[in-house]
Structure 1
């Protein structure tokens, strides 16, 4: 059984500005409290399908995530596995006008231990997703005003 959490908000910034903020994953800790450290592994300097990313988040064990989907300027998804549970996260940007977009973040867990993991860490994980969305909105709107 999969456990999923989805949240979205309108961001008063063009989609390309939001993408610039979101896709520079190593800078995430500068604009969200949900990430302590984000490091692209290997020779890549930009995310691509197959890129591996090491992530440290408050209250969760360090994990290595692999990018499994990317639509330049619009979305990316990545996933991480631990014994008995697979966690996937999606980041989606949908323009609503030239100056605004809808951003949706989704995290889902599946596997034999997904229910237990959700029981133990679900509240923490949902709080981190909410913090990431709030930080992304604030940073993107700030950059849009500064341009």
Structure 2
């Protein structure tokens, strides 16, 4: 199962990256996140960072960053019995700002069941996150 959402944001990549990697505040700009916690918020966000996320209608999950390119992309994943979920976040500079691509891939023996049960919800949450990020970046003054 693979889902992708893209959004064009009228803000510089560095500004979008700052909002995107300030993960402990995602719940303030997207309704797809109820609660999000980093056990080590004083450490820089990057490979190895762990985050606990609670989303509406889903169980809380521990996510870990597995790939990180400053101001370009990061990937994190979580596991549940029979499935692995991997989510990517990529930024690309455009003439008018930044293109953000959010994707989610579910693999494992229970991936098909996950698609049937949660496919529509996952697409909705990716769209909410893209729109929330766009709104946050375009309405928040930069320093």
- For the aligned pair, the TM-score class normalised by the smaller chain equals over 0.9
TM value normalised by structure 2: 0.94
Aligned equivalents of 2:36, 2:22: Cα separation in 1? 10
| Distance in 2 (alpha carbons) for counterparts of 1:43 and 1:141 | 25
Tell me which of 52, 61, 64 is aligned to 1:54: 52
* TM-score normalized with structure 1 length: 0.92
Tell me the matched-pair count. Answer: 143
Which consecutive segments of 4 or more residues in structure 1 shift more than 6 A? none
Q: Please state whether the residue corresponding to 1:41 is helix, strand or coil.
A: coil
* Equivalent pair of 1:79/1:86 in contact (CA under 8 Å): yes
1:39 — aligned with what? 37
Structure 1, unaligned stretches of length 5 or more? Answer: none
Q: Deviations over 1:67-113 (max 9, x none)?
A: 0011111111100000000000000110013x511100000100000
Residues 1:78 and 2:76 aligned together: yes
Tell me how large the CA RMSD over aligned residues is. Answer: 1.4
Q: In 2, are the aligned partners of 1:32 and 1:135 still within 8 Å (CA)?
A: yes
